[in-house]
């Protein structure tokens, strides 16, 4: 598994470097540098709005009694995203870390594991709807020439197949998270599996909470269209909301296809280039969009990983302090 992750990461980096080189290193680096610290801060700040929506979805899936505050859940979601975006864990390690962080906030391991598993399912379901919205926006108006309409419909059909594969892969993470939690629990002798399975069944029958979580995740996806508008504006390309939603929805579907590659390296860049090309946006601008999204992930993700490690180190230190060292009696 580690060898595969290493090889896929190297391949992804190679593809990314090749795409940047093909689009023009100098032009791309100059455009990204011109965005400056304030531009990057604006992109990071805007993503925090999406983080609020995603965190509210997760919080909704926790029992009302003893439910952590939104700030606590946001902190766990922040670290969860950092692990998934920056570590070679095939985009599921963050969910396990998230369940553990909720446990530290007073949520039982069974309930936390159930909430993060169902939250992943709601996120995947809302992404499917978001992808469909992007496809519908891509279809041209009826008064367009027949040949143009046929070409776009063919592209939309191919994109639909890609989206179906991406969503299927992402939905498979639902079971992967549950299996990983079960494996860890078995290894560490955690006795919460029955509670987690019961909590999952309870959540899956609570339509109100599922509906709220779905709506919050869909809101977060839709906000991504505005993020695309902001980033492209910063690199000198103005698009409207329709184009922003098309780029983000289909770009995220393409990224989902590369879930087995750490950070979807190369897959994300290639996806944005393809989709932006449909809309007449240059390959260089598409790469700049992807790179600025990755810079945002680094700016938010690196501090998240540091905070997570500090938490784990403090817990380990407390555990060592609780260990009693026997004192030998006099004369021994």
pLDDT at 269 (0 to 100)? 81
The reported pTM is 0.80
Whole-number percent of the chain with pLDDT over 90: 33
In the predicted structure, residue 14 carries a pLDDT above the cut 90 = no
Q: Which two tokens stand for residue 317?
A: 């230190």
In the predicted structure, residue 299 carries a pLDDT above the cut 80 = yes
Q: Which residue has the higher pLDDT, 245 or 96?
A: 245
Q: Which two tokens stand for residue 40?
A: 């990057």
pLDDT at 301 (0 to 100)? 94
pLDDT at 33 (0 to 100)? 84
pLDDT at 47 (0 to 100)? 96
Distance CA 80, CA 184 (A): 17
What band does 271 get if pLDDT is binned at 50, 70 and 90? confident
Query: Mean pLDDT, the chain, as a whole number?
Result: 78
């Amino acid at each position: 598994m580690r060898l595969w992750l290493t090889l896929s990461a190297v391949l992804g980096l190679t593809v990314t470097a090749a795409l940047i080189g093909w689009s023009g290193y100098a032009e791309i680096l100059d455009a990204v540098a011109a965005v400056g610290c304030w531009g990057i801060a604006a992109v990071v700040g805007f993503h925090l709005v999406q983080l609020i929506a995603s965190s509210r979805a997760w919080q909704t899936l926790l029992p009302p009694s003893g439910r952590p505050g939104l700030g606590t859940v946001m902190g766990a979601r922040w670290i969860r995203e950092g692990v998934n975006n920056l570590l070679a864990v095939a985009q599921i390690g963050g969910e396990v870390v998230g369940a553990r962080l909720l446990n530290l906030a007073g949520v039982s391991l069974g309930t936390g594991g159930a909430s993060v598993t169902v939250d992943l399912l709601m996120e995947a379901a809302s992404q499917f709807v978001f992808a469909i919205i992007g496809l519908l926006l891509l279809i041209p108006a009826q008064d367009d020439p027949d040949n143009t309409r046929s070409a776009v419909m063919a592209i939309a059909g191919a994109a639909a197949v890609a989206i179906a594969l991406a969503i299927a892969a992402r939905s498979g993470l639902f079971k992967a998270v549950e299996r990983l939690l079960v494996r860890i629990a078995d290894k560490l002798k955690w006795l919460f599996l029955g509670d987690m399975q019961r909590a999952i069944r309870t959540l899956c029958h609570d339509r109100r909470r599922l509906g709220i979580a779905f709506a919050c995740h869909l809101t977060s996806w839709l906000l991504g269209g505005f993020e695309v508008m902001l980033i492209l504006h910063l690199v000198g390309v103005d698009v409207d909301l329709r184009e922003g939603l098309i780029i983000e929805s289909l770009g995220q579907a393409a990224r989902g296809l590369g879930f087995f590659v750490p950070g979807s390296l190369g897959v994300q860049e290639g996806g944005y280039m393809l989709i932006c090309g449909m809309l007449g946006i240059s390959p260089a601008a598409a790469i700049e969009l992807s790179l600025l999204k990755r810079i945002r992930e680094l700016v938010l993700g690196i501090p998240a990983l540091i905070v997570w490690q500090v938490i784990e180190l403090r817990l380990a230190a407390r555990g060592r302090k609780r260990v009693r060292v026997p004192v030998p009696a006099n004369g021994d």
